[in-house]
Amino acid sequence: MTAVRRPLVVGNWKMHKGVAETAAFLEGLLAAGPPSGVEVIVCPPFTSLPHAAMLLTGSSLGLGAQNVHWEDHGAFTGEIAAPMLRELGVGWVIVGHSERRALFGETDESALRRAACAQAHGLEVIFCIGETLAEREAGATFAVLERQTAGLGALDPGHLVVAYEPVWAIGTGRNATTEQAQEAHYELRRRLAGIFGAGPAEQMRILYGGSLKPSNSGELLAQPDVDGGLIGGASLDVDSFCAIMRDAASRAAGVGS
Ligand code: PGA
């Protein structure tokens, strides 16, 4: 059952931490040592990736980017291609984050194109979805999640993680309740089973994101279908990120035997 899914903790630094701050953070994190049984990924800004890749060489920590373009190269000013990320040793990429959707014109379709290109180049994809407050209040949460996952069948489920991030919880300090998170994750897994089949869906990790922090990570990460977290604000501090990792490790210990 849940024992097959290794907990995954991902730090999404957004537009924080240049090279010097990245180095200081990663040195602290490596010294603290991530707990066993948990997979940990950090996603710094593009400009910090080369230095981060160097510092993380030989460690168990994974490295991710926060976006990727859907073409391998070309006249796309300001964009970064999957082969460029691979060249740096990046293994993961976040796609379709709600900030990309709300502020930079990302759509379900463009997010899927990015994800497909990333997978084609061997990157693991963290595909973000989630409803706005207005959509939740209108009772449209599941309809939105259905729309946002409609094209996922084009992707390889073996290299795909879905991140449920209710938009109203991101950066607001207002997290989903354990019931809201588990209900959405359960529904998402049901939906993924419809797309990929029950076996692959049971193996897929679904992360919760949105004001995840040490004060709520224990209970949120204990939910049966919450396989880890995508963490913004609380991932910027080594101590709070480590505290969340420890809660994920408790989950691993609790369900892994
Ligand atoms: P937050 O961000 O933890 O700061 O709410 C989460 C995210 O946007 O991935």
What mean pLDDT comes out for the span 171-178? 92
105-147 per-position pLDDT tens digit: 999 999 999 999 999 999 999 999 999 999 999 999 999 999 9
73 catalytic residue (yes or no): no
Closest residue to atom 6 of ligand 1, CA basis: 232
The pLDDT, as a whole number, for residue 257 is 34
Task: Give yes or no for residue 4 having a pLDDT over 90.
Answer: no
Q: Which residues pair with 208 in a beta bridge?
A: 164, 229
74 CA distance to ligand 1 middle (Å): 31
CA distance 168 to 126: 19
Strand residues in the chain grouped as ranges (E): 8-12, 39-43, 62-65, 92-95, 124-129, 160-164, 206-209, 228-231
Closest residue to atom 1 of ligand 1, CA basis: 232
165 catalytic residue (yes or no): yes
Q: Which residues pair with 39 in a beta bridge?
A: 8
What mean pLDDT comes out for the span 175-200? 97
Q: What is the CA radius of gyration of the chain?
A: 17
Half-sphere CA count of 224, side-chain side, radius 13 A: 8
* Range of weakest confidence among 110-114, 178-182, 253-257: 253-257
Question: So where are the chain's domains?
Answer: 61-226
83 CA distance to ligand 1 middle (Å): 27
The pLDDT, as a whole number, for residue 1 is 42
Q: Could you say which of 3.30.1360.120, 3.30.990.10, 3.20.20.70, 1.10.357.10 is the CATH number of the domain covering 61-226?
A: 3.20.20.70
